[in-house]
Amino acid sequence: MDETSDEPPNSAILLDNFHFSQVVFNNVEKFYVPGGDVTCCYTLTQNIAPRRKDWVGIFRVGWKTTREYYTFMWAPLPSDAHSDTAVQQQIQFKAYYLPKDDEYYQFCYIDQDGMIRGASVPFQFRAETEDDILVVTTQGEVEEIELQNKNLHKENEELKASCASLQKQNSDLQEELNKTQELQNSLESLRSNTEKLELELNSLKKENKHLKELDDCREAELHQLKEQIQNVTFAKEHLETRLKRALDHMDQLQSEVLNYKKQVENLSHIDHDKTEQLESLKEENHQLRMTRTAQKEKNKELEHSMENLKGTKAKLSLCLSHCLQNKQQQNHDLMKELEKQKRSFRILQARKNEADEKNQELRKENDRLLRHLSQTREVSPFSVVSQAQAPISAPEVGGLLFGNPYCVAGANLRAGAADVASIRKCPVCNEVFPEDTEIKSV
């Protein structure tokens, strides 16, 4: 393939904007013999990243832009493109494409953007000179040669000045390159910071929008909560009023319950007194003991009723804790329970009245027996002693199995009031019953 068949990337940028120190050309000869291939050696420094479209061109000295190349070759990519050290490369230009004149030329390395990254010292394409050849020239030729030498010397001075200028430009361009690299790094850092700030700004905008939406929602919720608080406050005041009424009613019910409890306690004390009186008469006969047993059972029922009253009180206390939920139902239940207690109290009162009536009957019967016994003693004053000395298994007086408990065995019987007083004396507690007490025997 012809190396010049494809146009390389170039640029019309002036020399002041190029960088000549990123690629260094090595072992450049002062002149190359025409008709032979030329090998170009160069070094890629750490400041350049080689790419596929980079190329090396031969330029005539005095060129202004990269478009003024004479011939070129594509620069091969190094084996390690990402190396941090300098890389040695070389290109061979074929003799067919080299210049045929004896002008001054130089190698230049151009990247795929058309920017020059390095330039070599000038060189010529001419044949070697023979020192041992005698050249005979005329005076005119000598003068012409001297003029050419002066011109060459002048061109050499100009080239030296141009080389010094190029070196100065190279150093200046290197400094500019460093500054540009720093600016590029700063620019990249600023770009990255700008992107981050833009992302943060977008995030903050989204968050601000979300917060505004949340604020609107919370304002609506706050308004709704205020309405709910007003409703709850109104309901609370209404419930407090109802609770106060219910508590007042409950206090009344409790006072009534306490009154009933006191009445029941009084009845219990009365019943206890009656029980003690019945116990004093239990030794009189077996039927009296049966009556006492029945009375005990009744007392147990009364105690059970008291326990029911206590349970009812506990239920009332439990109902107080739930009065806010269903006040009407509790009041209805309390009224029912109160009616039930009243009925229980009436039943107990009726039973107590029955027991009192039975006790009255027993007293009347005992009174009748005492009167009968006193009449019998008036007829036969020694019958009591004979009865006391008689065996227990032979009941004679009044049909009593164990005899009359109000008789005093071995005592001197007296007539009149002393006899009656001894008969009315209790053998258990030694207490004399009043005259209006009726003693019954079963």
CATH number at residue 20: 2.60.40.2840
**Phi, psi (5° rounding) for residue 120?**
-95, 175
**Phi, psi (5° rounding) for residue 118?**
-175, 150
Please report the pLDDT score of residue 314 as a whole number: 80
Is pLDDT at 308 greater than 90 in this prediction?
no
**Domain that includes residue 75, residue range:** 1-126
Whether 114 maps to a domain, the answer reads yes
Cβ contact 125:102 at 8 Å: yes
Side-chain-side CA neighbours of 328 within 13 Å: the count stands at 0
Please report the pLDDT score of residue 425 as a whole number: 66
Cβ contact 425:411 at 8 Å: no
Q: What is the 3-state secondary structure (H, E, C) of 117-154?
A: EEECCCEEECCCCCCCCCCCCCHHHHHHHHHHHHHHHH
Going 368 to 369 to 372 to 378, the CA torsion angle's sign is: negative
Is pLDDT at 412 greater than 50 in this prediction?
no
Please report the pLDDT score of residue 76 as a whole number: 92
Whether 76 maps to a domain, the answer reads yes
Whether 336 maps to a domain, the answer reads no
> To the nearest whole number, what is the mean pLDDT of the chain?
79
124-158 tens-digit pLDDT: 998 766 543 444 446 666 777 778 778 888 887 88
Is pLDDT at 424 greater than 80 in this prediction?
no
Hunting for tokens 């001075």 — which residue is that?
157
Please report the pLDDT score of residue 92 as a whole number: 94
DSSP structure class, residue 100: -
CA distance linking residue 440 with residue 442, whole number of Å: 7
Q: Residues 153-180: what's their mean pLDDT?
A: 84
Whether 422 maps to a domain, the answer reads no
DSSP structure class, residue 106: E
The pTM assigned to this predicted structure is 0.32
Greater confidence (74 vs 266) lies with: 74
Please report the pLDDT score of residue 169 as a whole number: 84
Q: Residues 212-218: what's their mean pLDDT?
A: 88
Nearest Cα neighbor of 297 from 273, 277, 271, 265 is 271
Q: Decide the pairing of beta strands 31-32 and 69-74.
A: unpaired
Please report the pLDDT score of residue 386 as a whole number: 46
Cβ contact 397:403 at 8 Å: yes
Whether 68 maps to a domain, the answer reads yes
Is pLDDT at 389 greater than 80 in this prediction?
no
Nearest Cα neighbor of 362 from 290, 263, 269, 262 is 290
Return the structure tokens found at 262. 């006191």
Please report the pLDDT score of residue 394 as a whole number: 42
DSSP structure class, residue 15: G
Domain count, the chain: 1
Whether 334 maps to a domain, the answer reads no
Cβ contact 44:87 at 8 Å: yes
Going 341 to 342 to 344 to 348, the CA torsion angle's sign is: positive
Lowest-pLDDT range, 67-81, 288-302, 306-320, 336-350?
Answer: 306-320
Position 110 confidence tier, pLDDT thresholds 50, 70, 90: very high
Cβ contact 375:382 at 8 Å: no
CA distance linking residue 63 with residue 157, whole number of Å: 18
For 282, the enclosing helix (H) or strand (E) is none
Return the structure tokens found at 377. 């003693």
Whether 411 maps to a domain, the answer reads no
Whether 195 maps to a domain, the answer reads no
Lowest-pLDDT range, 137-151, 205-219, 326-340, 345-359?
Answer: 137-151
Please report the pLDDT score of residue 438 as a whole number: 57
Q: Percent of the chain at pLDDT above 70? A: 77
Please report the pLDDT score of residue 189 as a whole number: 85
Please report the pLDDT score of residue 265 as a whole number: 86
Q: Residues 234-243: what's their mean pLDDT?
A: 88
CA distance linking residue 221 with residue 161, whole number of Å: 86
Q: What is the 3-state secondary structure (H, E, C) of 50-77?
A: CCCCCEEEEEECCCCCHHHEEEEEECCC
Greater confidence (301 vs 285) lies with: 301
